Amino acid sequence: MSKPKIAVIGTGGTIASQGSGPLDTQDYASSGRPILTAEELVAGVPALAEVAEVVPVPFANIPSTAIGWAEWQALLASIAATRAAHPDLAGIVVTHGTATLEETAYFLSLTMPNELPIVVTGAQRPFTGLSSDGPMNLVAAVRVAGDPQSRGLGALVVLNEEIHAAREVTKTSTGRLQTFRSPDVGALGHVDADRISLWRRPTRLLPAGERFDIAGIATPPRVDVTYSVAGADGVAVRAFLGAGAQGIVAACFAPGFTTPAEREALAEAMAAGCVVVLSSRAGSGRTFPAKRYAAQGFLNADNLNPQKARVLLMLALTRTKDRAVIAELFARA
């Protein structure tokens, strides 16, 4: 039986990082050693050849803290070029630093124009670290990308032998291996030694034909995140508006409230044409449309965390500033 052909696009991050020694699993970015290229990373995990025909694709060797709109656009272009060069691909794996991995995965889920399986993976320990999780995460991601069950699920995130939907997963710990969790609904499935076990399919997923086309949009609409704390006075909101924010995501007190002063500033922002979406700083659960907020025009992020609500609002604003249309997107995407 032939093995599936899987492209591995390397963007850098911990999974490709090298520390000063096997016990350097924390401050390895200061080791001075180069980040491995996709080709070097694949060559360093010979077990990959047992599960797939792997095509390494160089992209950029950068920490994920340096990834944003321009890199996302370039990544989409790299994916399109890779598919064109290899029309027989069964799937694509993107290796990525864990800091912004969930945002890149959700972005890809909202912008990929087809149903080819795409899996994003990373690591909590560098490639050179004792008991690094990187090699096994990479093998697991390649296996998931090559499994026909993965088609039509949007972008997936695979680490620690768990399969998560891009919309639902988030990083929950700075250092633990089980950091990626889907707080409200749990994993989609598991990567076991003998099989890929999928237990459910994500329902919050835009059809391929409705996903966002950002080709040619060099500068995205500015969307900022403000964080509610006791005594917040709205200064940050007004500063974001002054900087040209077209959208603001409020990381509110659960279940979706701000301080009175912050609410006043956000109302001023909406009066100036800014779209405001209420998310929660709690880490899980929905924000609900309280009457007094809804009456002022505030939108709700449902259970999207602030960083992902920002991704969706940024993309939505490339199409429209109509609050009703944006609200509908937040109810489906």
Instruction: Give buried/exposed letters for 163-185 (b at 16+ CB in 10 A, else e).
Output: bbbbbbbbbeeeeeeebbbbeeb
SS (H, E, C) 174-202: CCCCCCEECCCCCCCEEECCCCEEECCCC
Contact 314, 286 (CB under 8 A): no
Output the DSSP codes for 56-124.
EEE-----GGG--HHHHHHHHHHHHHHHHH-TT--EEEEE--SSSHHHHHHHHHHH--S---EEEE--S
Give 278's strand partners: 250, 300
**Cα–Cα distance between 20 and 12 in angstroms, integer?**
17
Pair 54, 6: CB distance under 8 Å: yes
Burial 291-306 (b: 16+ CB within 10 A, else e): eebeeeebbbbbbbbb
Strand partners, 6: 54, 91
CA distance 110 to 310: 13
Residue that the structure tokens 């969790």 belong to: 181
Q: Give catalytic status of residue 14 as yes or no.
A: yes
CA–CA distances in Å: residue 191 to residues 6, 38, 57, 97, 186? 17, 22, 24, 21, 14
Give the 3-state secondary structure percentages of the chain, helix then strand then coil, rounded to 5.
35, 20, 50
For residue 329, the SS3 value is: helix
**14, 100, 104, 121: which is the annotated catalytic residue?**
14
Q: What is the CA radius of gyration of the chain?
A: 20
Mind telling me the catalytic residues? Answer: 14
